[in-house]
Structure formats: structure tokens, C-alpha cells
A and B are shown apart, each in its own frame.
Chain A
Amino acid sequence: MSSAPDAAPDTGDRRGDGREGPPLLFPGTRLHVVTGKGGTGKTTTAAALALALSRGGRRVLLCEVEDRQGVARLFGLPPLPYEERTIAATPGGGEVVALAIEPRAALLEYLDLFYKLGRAGRALDRVGAIDFATTVAPGVRDVLLTGKVYEAVRRRGRGRGAEREHAYDAVVLDAPPTGRIGRFLNVNSEVSGIARVGPVATQAESVMRVMRSAAARVHLVTLLEEMPVQETVDGVAELEAARLPVGAVVVDQVRSDTLPLELLDDALAGRVPASAVRDGLVEARVVRRDASGAGVVEGLLAEAAEHDERLALQDREQEALVATGRPLVELPLLPGGVDARGLEVLADRLVEQGLA
């Protein structure tokens, strides 16, 4: 990673984006798609990534498409409408804008934008055609969802002509879970069976061009557990086979070593006399000087043994992830759950490891 090509001409810009910090893993990425097995922290990671990317005065759009209102919940906000709304301001004048993309609203907007179908659109809605198109033909729904994201990635704001700046410096998509991500992103092949020609097919092709470009990266979030790791390994293979650009594997909720491993090994192997532990516990006033403390020592060692077993399991799962050849980015387990401060801690880690 240290040999990453330095795209920016000005010296000292190791990241290639004008900000200070460790070199970026994926310079030039403007669309970050975040997927992962359910329950692995996909939404949390997407939000932390958006916060990290917005530092240094940048404007970032955080999209969700699953109708779960996970972003609103995470930030402690009321449900978000289908509307871009600033949800966080970051130091240096940056901001995170959130958007909950709803397929029905996206289709109506799309019809209105391209066909001026104001009245006909409403007629379609009345007979249930919109519900139909957005629920029964999943490829069509996904084109609408990714199409909206694609529009945000390409949208220009201030200035004029080609000089105009992008409205968003980066877009982060809290995407469907790993099991569905290939189909979701590979919209072109999904709709080609049912809509070979026409605007939806054209739109799907444009979306695919962006999805397959260096400007987009798909990151997979996982825990160091069997099922999520298996799904991640399968997901990487599926995305690569579909020629979609895989970014990093984000390992979430990593438990750190809380005591030196060699000491733990010694203790578990019985090489440390129980009295040594007991002395420490007496010193710390956990065990009274006149008590044996055997139960406490035994209990603590049993917990440590379990911890050790879990670490060994994590190591094995980690090896499977390393074998995917993708860069691993680690996020710590926040024992108190994720709050505003926790999100900033996670954002710090993402910046330190070059994802943002």
C-alpha cells in the first residue's frame, strides 16, 4: 500500500485528495458501497465511513435503500423522508447528508423527470402499477434504487460547465446484505431478461458503467465468526466474477487482547502458581487478605480460557479473510454500543487505516 501511485501532483499529499493523513487504500473512489451479512454492523460502518469522508470540509451523501430507517435510528433522528437532509456537521466545515431512497417515490420521481408523467404517473400509482413494478420486478426496483445513487454521484453543484464541482465529494451507500449484493449491483443483467430495450435498460447500462469504474468500490463488513466470514468470502468471489470492484473487507467488532498473550498462555498452561494471581487480587482488594480466593482465581482463569478460545477461533476466521486478497480494515468492539461518540471513534479508525 505504501507504493500506491500518487495521483496528485502537489507534494505531501500522500492521500491524493488534498487532506492530511495516512495514504488512502482506494484513491479516487467517489462511491462507497457497503454490504455485509445482517447483524454485522453494515449500517454503522456506512455511517462511520460517511463521517470519516466528510472530515476536512467535504460533503458526503449517505444513502440507504432497505426501508429500515437504520441511519435515522443510529443518529437518534425521526424517520428520514425521501429527501436529502443534513444529519451531521463535521469539523472543518464538512457535512453528512442522508437520504432514504424509497423505490416507489424514486419511480414516480423518475417518471416525472424524464417523461413529465405528472398525471399519468399518478394514474399508474392508482391502479397499483407502481407497487407492481417496484415489488414484482426486483430488477426494476434495483435499477431505480441504484439509479438514484448514480445520479447523486454524478450531480454537479456550484460553478458552471465542466468546471462545476460535484455536488457530493463522496457517496456512501448502505446497500442490501451480502446475499443479495451481486444481484442488486449487477442491475444490467438483472433487467436484461425483462426489459431489453427502453429507458430502464439504458439507465441500467449507465449505472453499470459507474459501478464497474474505479470511482466505485464495494466494501464487505463481517464479524470474525464462521457464517459472516463464509458469506464474505463467497461475496468477494461473486462480485469479482461479476467484474464489480471489490474494496476492503471491514472486520467489525474486533475484540482486542486485554492481557499479554504470553502471560495468558502461561496462566492457562498452569505455569503460573495460583498464589501469584491471588496476591495480585489481594493487592487490588478483590480478595480479602484472610480469604483463600480460590473461587475467584478459578473463575477469572475460566473466563480467560474462554476468551483465549474465542481469539483462536477469530485467528482462523481472519486467515480465511486474508486469503481473499482484499485489504482488511478493523473496527473495535464498542462494549457500550454505538453512540455519537462511538461513531467518531470508528471514523477515526477508518481514517487511520486509509479507507477514508
Chain B
Amino acid sequence: MSAAPGRAASGPAGPVLDVDALLDDRSTSVLVCCGSGGVGKTTTAAALAVRAAERGRRVVVLTIDPARRLAQSLGLAELDNTPRRVEDVGAAAGGSLDAMMLDMKRTFDDVVEAHASPERARAIFDNPFYEAMSSSFSGTSEYMAMEKLGQLRARASVPGGDGSEPWDLVVVDTPPSRSALDFLDAPRRLSSFLDGRFIRLLLAPARAGGRAYVRVLSGAVSSVTGALSRILGAQFLDDLQSFVTGLDAVFGGFRDRAERTYAMLAGPGTAFLVVATPDEDALREAAYFVERLGADGMPLAGLVLNRVQTTALPRLSAERSWAAVVHLEGRTADDEEDGTAPEALSRGEHALAAGLLRLHAARMFRLEREQELAARFGREHPDVAVAQVPARPRDVHDLEGLRAVGVDLGGAA
């Protein structure tokens, strides 16, 4: 263990992620933060964006579902689906920050409107399946995040009134997916859905316009649709058929664009950061992300490990502190080893010392366990660079907090 003075977070033996170098590298133009839910992904994305802007980058950050107060601190009180300038960030260094919150439904509406005639768009919006699909189709939010990313990326290089490009770095937060890389799979999932045999069967009459081969298909179609009608009701199929027919026209362009975005993600200029916390579930998810990104040939910059337990006294181990508590309180070492039993509050002569040691023991117990888990991750993924961000006693919900997280991120190297 490191004997460094001060707040040492001694990490896994693996390589350390140099976040500042990543942010300063002008060839980095897209930064994607991914990870399972509840690991601080949005905060990490926002903190990276603030830090990059204050190091001179012109940044736009796309957040998915920020905590209310964090959103407010970024000037995102309203969800209007367009980037807004965050004042007082980066100007001194020649940088700037725009921020936006993804409105999934609105993004979907925009895409439909952009690709369909007004009448057709109206028909799609009025279909009951549209409501279901635009608000809760598994993968819709991932898909829309990709769509928005593509839009931001396209706008980034369009010169504004003063002739300069609005952004040179897009930072993206990703939706808390049930299965880890839904946002990578979303384009393919929609494609395979639209190209699937079932959809082709449903669309056959419309596409073929009543030509002869429909009759060949109709046997299979009617047995399938007949069964579905019995279960779901006939009107279900009618609505579905008109919905799919309507979307079919829209999705050609949609799919092309999603494929371009996917290719852009895999290309130079993009860096992925996997975000996790040092607990078993989050690290298992992180390992899956790392492997999946590797399998897809996506450029992984490293792992951000959030909320890492730190200590001012790394050399005073859990075991030793607990032994000291036991000594002061005259209890046996077999009692609750984790030092959290509430009934065990001491009141004796050295109650304060014992209490402080008890707190430290509990902290070290967690810290040692976290280090074990981080070290295991490091052994299994020796090439993945890691940046550790210490746990803070309070939530981050203002620019100052984001700057402090940025310092921790950048200062890791």
C-alpha cells in the first residue's frame, strides 16, 4: 500500500488513465460515457465537459436523465431538446460549453417529420403503436441518443455566424440500459425488426400492391395473422399494419443515418469511457462493456471508477483499527467484525477515540474490499487504464461540484 501522505487512493496496479491528455487531444472529437445505471455516468459526462471547456475545448454535452439540481446548474431547467450555452464556463481559456438533455419522444417526432410528408407524419403520430414505440420500445432511448449524437456531430463542423465551428468536442452520456450496450445494438435491432420476416409478411400486400405473388404468401400470412387476431383482436393487426407501412418509408433514412453514426463511433476521433463504481455488480457490468467494445472494435480510452472510498490513514488497516476498538472497549474480537453494530456504541473513558477508530475501521473495511474488487478487474483487464474519483460526502449539483470532480478525474494521472 502506498505510504504517500494525505488522501491517498491507492489504486489497482494497472495503467492510470490520463483524462486531461484525452481532453486536450484535439483529435478526440466524441467522448462516450457508458456504464450501468446508478454509477454516476451523467455526472461524469458533465464534469468532463466542464473540464474540457475550461481547458479550451468548445464542448457540447448530451445528457440523458440528469438529476434535477444538476440539470438546473447546467441551465437545463427546461427540456427543449436543443443545446443551450452554459455561461461562465471556459471563456477564459477560449473554450465554451453547451448542454442539452435528450427528449426521446421529441427526437423521434423530429425524425419522422424530417423523413415523411406531413400527411404521412400525421398518420404515424395518430397510430396507437407510435405512442408505445416512441415512449417505451426497448432501445428507443438508445436509438434516439445515437440519432441526436449524429445530429450534434453533423452540426459541430458547420461554421456559425463568426465563421468558427460551434463545437470541437461532443460528450455523450448514454441511457441506463438494461443490457449493457443497447445503444450499440439499437440500430441493428431496429434494422432487423424492420427487415424481419414478420414485418415483410405484414407489409407484403401493401408493398406488392396486390400482385400475383401475394397469393402465394397469403396462406402463410393468413395462418399467422389469423392466430394473432384471435389473441390480440383484429383491430390490433390493422393498426399495426398501417403503422409499419407508415414507418417503413421513414426508416430507410433513419437506418442509413444510424449506420453512419455507428461507423463514426468506431472511427478515429471517438473515445469511450466506461464508468463504474467499485462494487461487484457495477464492475461485472463494466467488464462486459469493456469486452463488448473490444469485440465491436470500438476505441476504449479507459475506465472511470467513481465513488472510491479514500482514507487519510491508509496504513491503519481495518484489522488494526478494530483490534484497537476491541482493546479500548474490552470486548472480544469475535463481536461484529465489521464495526457497524449500532448497539455497540461505547461510552467509557476513551469513548471518543474508540468511536473514531470504529468509524475508521468501517471505512477501511469497505476500502479494502473495493481495492480487492478493483485489483481483480485490473488482473482480468490489464490493458484498461483506470481513473479513480474519490467518494464525496455530498451529491454533486452545481458547477463547483462538477469542477471538483473534474480535478479528481484530471488529477488521477
Contact = CB atoms under 8 A, between A and B. Distances in A.
B376 to A, nearest CB: 13
Contacts of B404: none
B29 interface: no
B39 A337 contact: no
Contact of A132 (B131, B196, B394, B397): B196
Interface string A131-170: 1110111111000000000000000000000000000000
B223 A120 contact: yes
Interface in B108-164: 128-129, 131-133, 136-138
Interface stretch (B53-61, B260-268, B363-371): B363-371
A195 B236 contact: yes
| Residue picked from B321, B346, B393, most chain A C-beta under 10 Å | B393
Contacts of B138: 135, 138
Contacts of B340: 255-256, 258, 332-333, 335
Interface stretch (B9-17, B18-26, B226-234): B226-234
Nearest to B342: A256
A228 B67 CA distance: 10
B395 A259 contact: no
A335 B366 contact: yes
Contact of A303 (B236, B350, B363, B365): B363
B346 to A, nearest CB: 8
Interface string B82-105: 000000000000000000000000
A201 B236 CA distance: 11
Contacts of B346: 259
A303 B37 contact: no
Main secondary structure of the interface of A (DSSP, over half): helix
A307 B136 CA distance: 40
Nearest to B43: A227
B388 interface: no
Nearest to A107: B231
A124 B366 CA distance: 51
Contact of B359 (A127, A139, A201, A258): A258
Size class of the B contact interface (CB-based, 8 Å): 35 or more
A273 to B, nearest CB: 10
Interface in A24-64: 37-40
A53 B68 CA distance: 37
Interface string A104-119: 0000000100010100
Contacts, number: 239
B69 to A, nearest CB: 7
B232 A195 contact: yes
B199 A259 contact: no
Interface in B231-249: 231-233, 235-236, 239-240
A37 B38 CA distance: 8
A302 interface: yes
A309 B321 CA distance: 22
A111 B231 contact: yes
B393 A309 contact: yes
A239 interface: no
A120 B227 contact: yes
B313 A296 contact: yes
A259 B354 contact: yes
Contacts of A126: 197
Given A140-B232, A304-B359, A194 B324 contact: no
A335 B352 contact: no
Which applies to chain B's interface (DSSP): helix, strand, loop or mixed? Answer: helix
Contact of B176 (A38, A225, A304, A309): A38
Given A193-B128, A198-B236, A332-B340, A301 B356 contact: yes
A299 B351 contact: no
Contacts of B68: 230
Interface stretch (A6-14, A208-216, A278-286): A278-286
Contacts of B37: 37-39, 177
B324 A115 contact: no
A313 B394 contact: yes
B132 A264 contact: no
A39 B282 contact: yes
A307 B137 CA distance: 42
B353 A284 contact: yes
Nearest to B198: A128
A193 B313 CA distance: 61
Contacts of A269: none
Nearest to A194: B128
Interface in A189-222: 190, 193-201
A121 B121 CA distance: 34
Contacts of B350: 279-280, 283-284
A194 B129 CA distance: 7
A298 B312 contact: yes
A336 B355 contact: no
Contacts of A334: 338
Contacts of B228: 124, 129, 133
Contact of A67 (B67, B178, B220, B236): B178
Interface in A301-332: 301-304, 306-307, 309-310, 313, 332
B360 interface: yes
10 closest A-B pairs by CB: A280-B353, A259-B355, A39-B38, A38-B37, A299-B312, A198-B233, A280-B350, A284-B324, A193-B128, A128-B198
15 contacts: A123-B223, A124-B227, A127-B220, A131-B198, A194-B236, A257-B345, A258-B355, A259-B345, A276-B352, A279-B350, A280-B349, A300-B356, A333-B340, A335-B339, A335-B369
Interface of A: 37-40, 66-68, 111, 115, 117, 120-121, 123-124, 126-129, 131-133, 135-140, 177, 180, 183, 190, 193-201, 225-228, 230, 255-260, 263-264, 266-267, 272, 276-277, 279-281, 283-286, 295-296, 298-304, 306-307, 309-310, 313, 332-337
Given A197-B235, A263-B351, A309-B394, 19 more contacts: A38-B36, A67-B179, A120-B223, A120-B227, A121-B227, A136-B129, A139-B132, A196-B235, A226-B395, A258-B358, A258-B362, A259-B345, A260-B345, A260-B355, A267-B356, A284-B324, A299-B313, A303-B356, A334-B338
Interface of B: 5, 36-39, 67-69, 128-129, 131-133, 136-138, 176, 178-179, 193, 196-199, 201, 220, 223-224, 227-233, 235-236, 239-240, 277, 279-282, 311-313, 316, 320-321, 324-325, 327-328, 338-342, 345-347, 349-360, 362-363, 365-366, 369, 393-395, 397
